[in-house]
Chain A
Amino acid sequence: MLKIEKLNVKYGKIQVIWDLSMSIGNNEAVGIFGPNGAGKTTLINTMLGFLKPESGRIAFEDNSLIGLKTHEIARRGISVVPQERELFPFMTVEENLRLGAAYIPHALNKVDENLDLVFGIFPILKERLKQQAGTLSGGQQRMLAVGRALMGSPKLLILDEPSLGLQPSLVIELFQKLKEIKRLGVSVLLTEQNVKQGLKVIDRGYVLENGRIVMEETSQKLASSPHIQKSYLGV
């Protein structure tokens, strides 16, 4: 459903992504692992149209995304849970959730349905419906960001470092929720430094180091790979 070919991205004068190719299939969960500064967030920002690539192709359902504005990409069915969450801090939980659907044409007639779905996955959001998003705890804000992304009825859900800054119990809970979300038929792209938890959710993963893909394997093979074990799992 998503296909990236020979992507090169520069950030200022520094090249961050080199000849990167990857793909995500229908209802597939794909992980991108790598150390801090490997280019994971740059890759996502490029997919979302925040950055313009030097060269290469990004196609979503056979249509090129390059040159589209971020909001146009969102309307095509790609929702994101950014690292910084990017919520609307002075709006209530409910307003945040509704905004997740309000500007996505194909999600407009599914608002109630999607609200129920989000509350099913994150009951806490229903309890906090009238609370200002900025006053939620970090974990709750992350859930709200995921919920807001789901409100747009995405075909592809991108999560950038969802475990960042969360306490371990919440991380485990969040990744369980992600499995539930995947069962809804949504494709998932996940970047993670927490490889151990990430491997439990994904079907297939890439390892990104210094802006280059150095490995592509199924989740089981990654888990048993010596490189992963040594560098990321600390075994």
Chain B
Amino acid sequence: MNAKPFHLNRTLLILIILLVVIAIWKPVALIYGFQRGGLYALIALPLALILGIIGILNLGHGDFLTLAMYIGYLLFENLKIDPLLSMVPLFFIFLALGMGIYMITIKYVLKSGELNQLILTFGISMVIIQMAELIWTTRPRNLYVSYASSSVSFLDFSVGTYEFLYPALAIGVLIALRLFLKKTKLGQAATAVGQNPRGAEIVGIDTNRVYFTVFSISIGILGIAAGVMLPRTSIFPLTGSPYTLKSFALVAMAGLGDLNGILIGGITLGIAEAVIQSIPGYGGWSDLVFFGVLLAVILTRAYRRSES
């Protein structure tokens, strides 16, 4: 995992100033963006894990999320499992799915180069999208639970309270992941593999086992994210797709291996998106925030590298 691309302190300072300005200018956008940003971070964390440790960019990332939401929807419709509760079974179902996908596909492209890896995960992405279309068609599904639509009023505006779960869960997952990487033997091995896979092998670390674990846990986390998103998200075959690139944007922005940076970045971009969305007539451009940041980050890095 690479060094941090910027100093956190300076970034934090700029961030705080910006936040204060936005808080005065558009308080609703600030809160809304904070909630959404938490969700972005929650979804980006597992992508960062797979990219940072296995070195594979999983282009099917957002589509696993879609699939998890469909399964959560089925659990709710058929077994009356509350979406928030369904996070638990979804985590385990997707942990198992991650294991399976790793064993039958990822394992075989570990050494076959970036091109093949990208094409493979792109293929997985397409299979999930088309499968969703085949089974559930493009008709959106929505799921209603009363607690998800509660809101709280400040001064003269109101914001949804349910969405505060997003940043809360993101922080929870972040803490759990950091503990895993720092305190468990497998987690330490994963950190070592992320920094130097060859070095890890010569000190006796079974890299294949690390990759297997990291991949399955990451896909499992998407199950958790899907559970929390269910009550407030319309589900269709492309629901999750945009999150792949958005997650990558966050990882690129934070730098590989900087999990905290993903949370900060996610909230920042979430707020930026919400602010643009709140400007009448220009809301549609908010989608460009992530892609713009992604391109800017990648291009400045490439430029700097060619300079030095």
Contact = CB atoms under 8 A, between A and B. Distances in A.
Contact of A91 (B189, B192, B198, B205): B192
Nearest to B189: A103
A168 B120 CA distance: 49
Nearest to B197: A86
Interface string A138-150: 0000000000100
Nearest to A70: B201
Interface string B162-199: 00000000000000000000000100110110011011
A152 B203 CA distance: 8
A89 B191 CA distance: 11
A86 B196 contact: yes
A86 B199 contact: yes
Contacts of A201: none
Q: How large is the interface on A (under 10, 10 to 19, 20 to 34, 35 or more residues)?
A: 20 to 34
Nearest to A87: B199
B259 to A, nearest CB: 13
A110 to B, nearest CB: 14
Interface string B203-216: 11111100000000
Contacts of A48: 202
A86 B257 CA distance: 18
A86 B207 CA distance: 15
Interface stretch (A2-10, A71-79, A226-234): A71-79
A91 B191 contact: yes
Instruction: Count chain A CB atoms within 10 A of each CB in B188, B192, B203 and give the residue with the most.
Output: B203
Instruction: Count chain A CB atoms within 10 A of each CB in B191, B199, B207 and give the residue with the most.
Output: B199
Interface in A145-196: 148, 152
Interface string A89-121: 111000000011011100000000000000000
Nearest to B2: A90
Contacts of B110: none
A86 B202 contact: yes
A102 B193 CA distance: 14
B3 interface: yes
A68 B192 CA distance: 21
Contact of B3 (A90, A103, A152): A90
Contact of B204 (A50, A86, A88, A152): A152
A34 to B, nearest CB: 22
B195 A103 contact: no
B185 A89 contact: no
Contact of B203 (A89, A90, A148): A148
Contact of B196 (A75, A80, A89): A89
B290 to A, nearest CB: 27
B188 A99 contact: yes
Contact of A74 (B3, B202, B208, B257): B202
A50 B199 CA distance: 12
B126 interface: no
Contacts of B205: 71, 99, 103
B19 interface: no
A18 B199 CA distance: 28
Q: Which 10 A-B pairs have the closest CB atoms?
A: A86-B199, A103-B204, A74-B204, A70-B201, A88-B195, A104-B204, A75-B204, A71-B206, A71-B204, A103-B205
Given A88-B200, A102-B185, 15 more contacts: A69-B201, A69-B206, A71-B202, A74-B203, A86-B199, A86-B202, A87-B199, A88-B191, A88-B199, A90-B1, A90-B257, A99-B205, A103-B205, A103-B206, A148-B203
20 contacts: A69-B206, A70-B202, A71-B204, A71-B205, A74-B204, A82-B199, A86-B199, A88-B195, A91-B191, A100-B203, A102-B185, A102-B189, A102-B203, A103-B204, A103-B206, A104-B203, A104-B204, A148-B203, A152-B203, A152-B204
